[in-house]
Amino acid sequence: MMFVTHGKTQIDISVDKQVANERIIHRIKKGGYEQREAKFARQVIQPEDRILELGAGLGFISAAVCSQVQPQHYTAVEADERLIPHIHRTHERNKIKGVDVIQGAFVANPEILEKGFIEFGVAKAFWGSGIDRAGGDDVMTVRVPTRDVSKHIRDNRIDTLISDIEGGELDLFRHLDFSPLKRIIMEIHPKVFGLEGVREVFQILDRNNFVYDADYCEGSVVTFTRV
């Protein structure tokens, strides 16, 4: 394992050759890795907020947020078991404390919850992994235990959702209880579910009184605020 310093935030990120290729490392060094998500999260999150992050990756977003503001609560969830030690190392290196790190898949679909697991495609370069990749020839398909995301949000009084789950946001939003949430920061993935899927995501958020917050949006990284 080694640490690579993010070129924009100066956060040290834990990586190794088992999960990252040279492209990922180069992107971290140049500061492009998850920079928009980090920028918007740091701009809008306040000390009184209670955060749930889905798709925690290497622990960069949680470290970037908590190094600037210490929210009341932060849960970081990652499906790829290989990344959990990196999240902890990233937090320790940057003196981040109080983040609850969970390995698993937080879902809202009752049929998936009843099964108790979801199939997840693990790619050598971690950012190529995802639920939609399961069964592919170039990935290792594993079963990841599931947990009820709506229950976690209610039980922990979560008000801000950060999501980068490689296209899984569409099925998540079809079943999610949005009522406790006031803000959502996410990357959308039209390459996974197409423009029709993007439209459905926006329609679901509109029905739940969330508005596209243009001041904190750029490209596929978008922020929605409840009105």
Which of 42, 43, 79 has its CA nearest to residue 62? 42
- Tell me if 139 is assigned to some domain: yes
Q: Which residue carries 């180069």 as its tokens?
A: 26
- CA distances 117 to 100, 114, 145, 208, Å, are 21, 8, 4, 28
155-205 pLDDT, tens digit per residue, is 999 999 999 998 999 999 999 999 999 999 999 999 999 999 999 999 999
Q: Report the distance separating Cα 104 and Cα 118, nearest Å.
A: 9
Inside any domain, residue 199: yes
Query: What's the CA gap between 4 and 18, in Å, rounded?
Result: 15
Q: How far is 202 from 210, CA to CA, in rounded Å?
A: 9
Instruction: Please determine, for residue 135, whether its predicted confidence score (pLDDT) is greater than 90.
Output: no
Quote the domain boundaries for residue 113.
34-226
| Residue 71 belongs to some domain of the structure | yes
Q: Is 25 part of a structural domain of the chain? A: no
SS3 106: strand
CATH of the domain at 93: 3.40.50.150
Is the residue at 173 inside a domain?
yes
- Assigned domain for 154 exists: yes
Mean pLDDT within 17-29: 95
Q: What is the largest CA-CA distance in the chain?
A: 45
Residue appearing with tokens 């971690």: 126
Classify 68 as helix, strand or coil: helix
Asked whether residue 24 is assigned to any structural domain, the reply reads no
Can you give the pLDDT at residue 199?
Answer: 97
How far apart CA 188 and CA 193 sit, in angstroms, is: 9
Say if 16 falls within a structural domain: no
Q: Give me the number of domains the chain comprises.
A: 1
